[in-house]
Structure 1
Amino acid sequence: MSNLTAGATEGINLTCGMSGSHEFIFTLVPIVYGCNFVIGIVGNSMVVAVIYCYMKLKTVANVFVFNLAVSDLTFLITLPMWATFTATGYRWPFGGFLCKTSAGLATFNLYTSIFFLTALSIDRYLAIVHPVHSRRFRTVVYARITCVMIWLFAFGLSLPSALTRDVINIKDSKTTVCAILHPSAENAEMLKKLLLAISFLKSLLGFLVPFAIIITCYCLIGRTLLRAKHIQKTSHSREDEVLRMLAAAVLAFFLCWVPHQVFHFLQLLTQLNPGKHCAILEIIDTAMPFTICIAYFNSCVNPMVYGFVGRNFRKNLLRLLRCSPRGGARPHPSISSKMSALSFRASEVLNLTVKNSSTYDVK
């Protein structure tokens, strides 16, 4: 990989110029980054503090939500640098190390965030659809092992993104940018294949596969809850709150990531068909900062969807804001605990119905 970084700071000439360089981007995007930074830092810090101080890491879902919030915080600390980079007209003043680190953390957060959301979806599927059989697998120990595996796997996937980024001098505009390495004569083919692999994995493992798993889990969860609701003949119960939360989680995930993934896929197509695509690249490079803003907003939405929807989380948040002692009251169960209890009752109802039907058939 050392050959790829050789000569990274040498000046290069751009075939299409600085595409996507518009004044409104340099003004609007840094403002959005700043809002994402403030909202995300406050929201995720509250999630970490509430879970650690009051709700504890004693449930599987709490472990995943805690790690998800830490992942978002790790990424959010880089947003001021990206805001500065955009506000100064794509000029990177922070050096090569922070360029690689920030780019790597952005990709790292993409994978960790989506992997933790997927782990939460699988956990909720097991808790609601298979509450009895999944008990031995849904333990805090297994959850922590899963988190370690997610961190390591995401680090491995994001490492190439960090290594293929560096500070580059643009001769035409005399600008120093933090960008993907420009291929030279000796490493052009190798770098092209590596960049294509990174883009392909980002689309496949960073969105398509996790999204398919999440949708499948939530559809099966919804079907189970609706069946239980139909059997119990209840109109407004706890199932409705759970279904609304699951729908909000899927919708937030979809809306935040789809725009970026669409333009990322178009960018991948331009890489597969090398040549002068200046008009297409102009559209992609102009839209990409805004799709990144929307994708980064997912780090702000996560605390709202997975934390603030829960009534007990809000109670514990008020205790935190009032600086109530940890032992002052019994810790409230997380929303996932309520979901597990609910799913166990729903499963019992379904099982009893099946047994009764079988008994009648025998008679």
Structure 2
Amino acid sequence: MGNAQVQPPETAFCNLNDRDQEGLLLVQLYLLPAWFLSVFILGLPLNLLSLWIFLYRLKRWTRSTILIFNLTLADTSWLLALPFLVKFHLNQLYWTSGLPLCTAVRLLYHNYFYSSIFFVTSISLDRYLAIVHPLRSPTILGRRHTFLLCVLVWLVTLALSIPVADMTLIQTCPSNNHTICTLYLLLDVTSESLPYSLFCSIIGFFFPLVSICYCCLCSVRELRRRPGLHHPHGKWQRLMRVMRAVLVLFALLYLPYHLVRNAAIIMRALYPDSPASWGPSDLAFSLEMCLCSLNTCINPLFSCFVGRQFRREFHDSVVVLIRRCPRSKLAALLKREGTTVQQRQGVTTVSPL
């Protein structure tokens, strides 16, 4: 507890009866833990099933397979840290697990967030090469190069997240010795947090966004030069749908997160002696944390959208799991339909390991 410090901006988290911060405390004490728990219950089985399919069902790994597998690893690593955050918020923002675990949870969240961005960007790059440079694509980014790219992404995001460990503190409330696992953006001194947040926004979000926009525009231009490829069920149309999905993902999840995070720190820098003025931006950031956590549930569906082989195995595995629920009416319906299809086509369903 030698690193414990009293941070004035955390006064709202110390005084849980403060009516001026009622909305923020409502989100922190009730909405966040319920939301995180729901994401954990839904997201962990989806990602574990995805990992099982990658490791035991897919025979041939392409560039997309390697990238999606690493994206799933990033999601799963953060989901395993969620129970600690759920406990923290359910325990009235009282952290009892010590500074090392507090630092690990905050660092893991930051590392997961940017590794997810970089892997989604890499997937868009892979789609761009498949459209614009179909013949040179295997040479430019083969499976060996893709593996090295994934290693580079993990190393870069880890290096990008190291300052979070230095800025993570265990704060002690002066009135009741209540300890809080703080976020770096809630520090009262913004001389470190503001430059760091802006740097991460530029390197970890703005550059990937520009890269994705460039890949999407070049792909659209290339497709317009090939009018014979505009078949509604063609390969090129599927590739373009992937590019659009990536842009939507950035617009709905990543862009608001960075805007609100930087706004929360800037408000502290502009009004250092007015905690009441920080409330709206802190509340918006707390709500944005809920929204961004959905990413761990969306990515498995995004993986199905990207890879046809993965989508087929994922669908068959889910059908098998539903059939194993004896009291499920849906299971009986799927089983009856599956038997009809097998009799008609003479094929067998995928059974789990």
**Cα gap change, 1:236 to 1:111, in 2 (>3 Å):** closer
Measured in 2, the distance between the counterparts of 1:289 and 1:118 equals 25
Alignment of 1:240-259 (within 5 A): 240-259=237-256
Measured in 2, the distance between the counterparts of 1:210 and 1:48 equals 26
- Return the offset for 1:303: 1.1
Q: Is the 8 A contact 2:36 2:290 kept in 1?
A: yes
- Return the offset for 1:275: 2.1
Kindly tell me the number of residue pairs found equivalent between the two proteins: 315
Measured in 2, the distance between the counterparts of 1:236 and 1:182 equals 47
**Cα gap change, 1:57 to 1:40, in 2 (>3 Å):** farther
Q: Which of 35, 47, 50 matches 2:50?
A: 47
Which letter maps to 1:26?
L
Greater RCO structure (CA 8 Å; 6+ sep): 1
Which letter maps to 2:279?
E
Q: Which residue of 2 aligns with 1:168?
A: 171
- Return the offset for 1:125: 0.8
**Cα gap change, 1:17 to 1:192, in 2 (>3 Å):** same
**Cα gap change, 1:38 to 1:306, in 2 (>3 Å):** same
Measured in 2, the distance between the counterparts of 1:248 and 1:28 equals 28
Q: Which residue of 1 aligns with 2:276?
A: 279
Q: Which residue of 2 aligns with 1:315?
A: 312
**Cα gap change, 1:172 to 1:199, in 2 (>3 Å):** farther
Measured in 1, the distance between the counterparts of 2:122 and 2:84 equals 30
Measured in 2, the distance between the counterparts of 1:270 and 1:61 equals 41
Measured in 2, the distance between the counterparts of 1:173 and 1:202 equals 35
Q: Which residue of 2 aligns with 1:199?
A: 197
Q: Which residue of 2 aligns with 1:344?
A: none
Measured in 2, the distance between the counterparts of 1:232 and 1:277 equals 59
Q: Is the 8 A contact 2:194 2:266 kept in 1?
A: no
2:41 is the alignment partner of 1:38: yes
Q: Is the 8 A contact 1:99 1:165 kept in 2?
A: yes
Deviates more, 1:301-310 or 1:75-84: 301-310
What are structure 2's unaligned runs of at least 5 residues? Answer: 14-20, 322-346
The Cα offsets for residues 89-113 of structure 1, whole Å up to 9 and x where unpaired, read as 2211221111000000011001111
Q: Which residue of 1 aligns with 2:146?
A: 143
Q: Is the 8 A contact 2:185 2:264 kept in 1?
A: no
Q: Which residue of 1 aligns with 2:223?
A: 225
- Return the offset for 1:33: 0.5
**Cα gap change, 1:218 to 1:224, in 2 (>3 Å):** same
**Cα gap change, 1:250 to 1:199, in 2 (>3 Å):** same
Q: Is the 8 A contact 1:245 1:309 kept in 2?
A: yes
Alignment of 1:19-30 (within 5 A): 19=21, 21-30=24-33
- Return the offset for 1:162: 1.7
- Return the offset for 1:203: 1.4
Measured in 2, the distance between the counterparts of 1:119 and 1:199 equals 23
Deviates more, 1:91-100 or 1:49-58: 49-58
* TM-score between both structures, scaled by the size of structure 1: 0.77
Which letter maps to 1:217?
C
**Cα gap change, 1:57 to 1:206, in 2 (>3 Å):** farther
Measured in 2, the distance between the counterparts of 1:115 and 1:253 equals 11
Which letter maps to 1:202?
C
Measured in 2, the distance between the counterparts of 1:115 and 1:308 equals 18
Measured in 2, the distance between the counterparts of 1:63 and 1:140 equals 8
- Return the offset for 1:45: 1.6
Q: Is the 8 A contact 2:242 2:305 kept in 1?
A: no
Q: Which residue of 1 aligns with 2:112?
A: 109
Measured in 2, the distance between the counterparts of 1:15 and 1:110 equals 24
2:76 is the alignment partner of 1:73: yes
**Cα gap change, 1:62 to 1:268, in 2 (>3 Å):** same
Q: Is the 8 A contact 1:253 1:298 kept in 2?
A: no
What are structure 1's unaligned runs of at least 5 residues? Answer: 1-5, 332-363
Measured in 1, the distance between the counterparts of 2:186 and 2:117 equals 31
Deviates more, 1:161-170 or 1:140-149: 161-170
Deviates more, 1:309-318 or 1:97-106: 309-318
1:78 alignment partner, SS class: helix
Q: Is the 8 A contact 1:67 1:116 kept in 2?
A: yes
Which letter maps to 2:249?
A
Q: Is the 8 A contact 1:71 1:113 kept in 2?
A: yes
2:4 is the alignment partner of 1:9: yes
- Return the offset for 1:301: 0.8
Q: Is the 8 A contact 1:8 1:181 kept in 2?
A: no
Q: Is the 8 A contact 1:47 1:69 kept in 2?
A: yes
Q: Which of 205, 212, 215 matches 1:214?
A: 212
Measured in 2, the distance between the counterparts of 1:262 and 1:304 equals 26
The Cα offsets for residues 36-70 of structure 1, whole Å up to 9 and x where unpaired, read as 11222122222222122222463111111001100
- Return the offset for 1:198: 2.0
Q: Is the 8 A contact 1:161 1:198 kept in 2?
A: no
The Cα offsets for residues 306-359 of structure 1, whole Å up to 9 and x where unpaired, read as 225644323212554549xxxx99x9xxxxxxxxxxxxxxxxxxxxxxxxxxxx
Q: Which residue of 2 aligns with 1:132?
A: 135
Which letter maps to 1:100?
T
Which letter maps to 2:4?
T
* TM-score between both structures, scaled by the size of structure 2: 0.79
- Return the offset for 1:154: 0.8
**Cα gap change, 1:291 to 1:14, in 2 (>3 Å):** closer
1:77 alignment partner, SS class: helix
Q: Which residue of 2 aligns with 1:83?
A: 86
